Amino acid sequence: MMSKKTPLKELKPRLEKFKLLMDNSNPEWKIAVIFSKINLYYFTGTMQDGMLIIPREDEATFWVRRSYERATNESLFENIKPMNSFRDAAVSVTNIPDTVYLETEVIPMALYLRFQKHFPFKNFKPLDKAIATIRIIKSEYELTLMRKSGKIHELVLEDIVPEILKEGMSEADLAADLFKVMINEGHHGVTRFGMFDTEIVMGQIGFGESSIYPNYFNGPGGNYGMSPAVPLIGSRERKLRRGDLVFVDVGCGVDGYNTDKTMTYMFGRSLPKFAIDTRMNVLIYKII
């Protein structure tokens, strides 16, 4: 099976820009190490269990625990090496500086301690802001993927969802149907967040009052969820009724690049006049 590979002309400038930014913002830096899957994908074009070591004065190396074979199949990154443990990578670094730059937003303490055991540095500093600064500026290659994602979003939410909605279906039914449709149209199947311990499957889908139910996720809406153990996806019990507002806020992505789109539908009949009048008053107030 052929995999889509991030072009080398994309990967090289990202690393070069990162080093330049680190030179300007942290002129004392000597080495940076990246562990998180999203950032590894951004810099190497593959999402494997491993770490990317970026020395200031030397070539960056992607050390892969699993799967080295998959990494070399998927990635055009020029320096990928296998490792069984951090010990294998440690022998390649002859002078470990006192301070190492790490992703402090996402690295668990246990991983940090295992890494430090073989790389005995004294201090750490964050590199999260530097990576975010690089990633926020999109290349034409990245924008092209986001535009593809946006086209899928537009088609599914504006044209297909109104045809899916059926009286008596549950929130979970809609989520399942919507996921299948989006996958068939080209969605890569997952929405990721740069937040600690945050997960989401499709997005936020709610019927009527369910869409304003208190939600642990810092988003614009909510739903009852599958259960207290899985406050996601949608309720099996909350059925769609005539007159419900249907709130759909879902992510879509193509080859790692995402768009976000929210739609609200009036199902079966329009809102009561007092609700529309209240909404209009709020909009007028905000405009003024």
The model's pLDDT over 210-268, given as tens digits with 9 standing for 90+, comes to: 999 998 777 788 889 999 999 889 999 999 999 999 999 999 999 999 999 999 999 99
| Last residue within a domain, chosen from 111, 135, 159 | 135
Say which CATH number the domain at 247 has.
3.90.230.10
In the prediction, which pLDDT does 191 show? 85
Asked if residue 140 belongs to a domain, the reply is: no
Asked if residue 155 belongs to a domain, the reply is: yes
Strand order in 203-207's β-sheet?
203-207, 245-254, 257-266
Buried b (16+ CB within 10 A) or exposed e, 211-238: beeebebeeebbbbbbeeeebbbbbeeb
| Last residue within a domain, chosen from 104, 135, 166 | 135
Nearest to 207 by CA among 176, 177, 248: 248
Q: Could you tell me if 122 and 167 lie in one domain?
A: no
Q: Which domain holds residue 38?
A: 8-135
**How far apart, in whole angstroms, are the C-alpha atoms of residue 96 and residue 74?**
30
Mean pLDDT, residues 117-146 taken together: 97
* Res 285 pLDDT > 60: no
Report the phi/psi class of residue 233: left, alpha or beta, with left for phi > 0 and alpha for psi in -120 to 50: left
**How far apart, in whole angstroms, are the C-alpha atoms of residue 265 and residue 245?**
6
**Of 279 and 260, more confident:** 260
The pTM score is: 0.89
* Res 283 pLDDT > 60: no
Asked if residue 154 belongs to a domain, the reply is: yes
Q: Could you tell me if 164 and 58 lie in one domain?
A: no
Kindly report, residue by residue over 163-176, the tens digit of the pLDDT: 999 999 999 999 99
* Res 1 pLDDT > 60: no
Nearest to 86 by CA among 77, 72, 96: 96
Asked if residue 269 belongs to a domain, the reply is: yes
Mean pLDDT (the chain) is 91
In the prediction, which pLDDT does 279 show? 56
Task: Residue 81: count other Cβ atoms within 10 Å of its Cβ.
Answer: 16
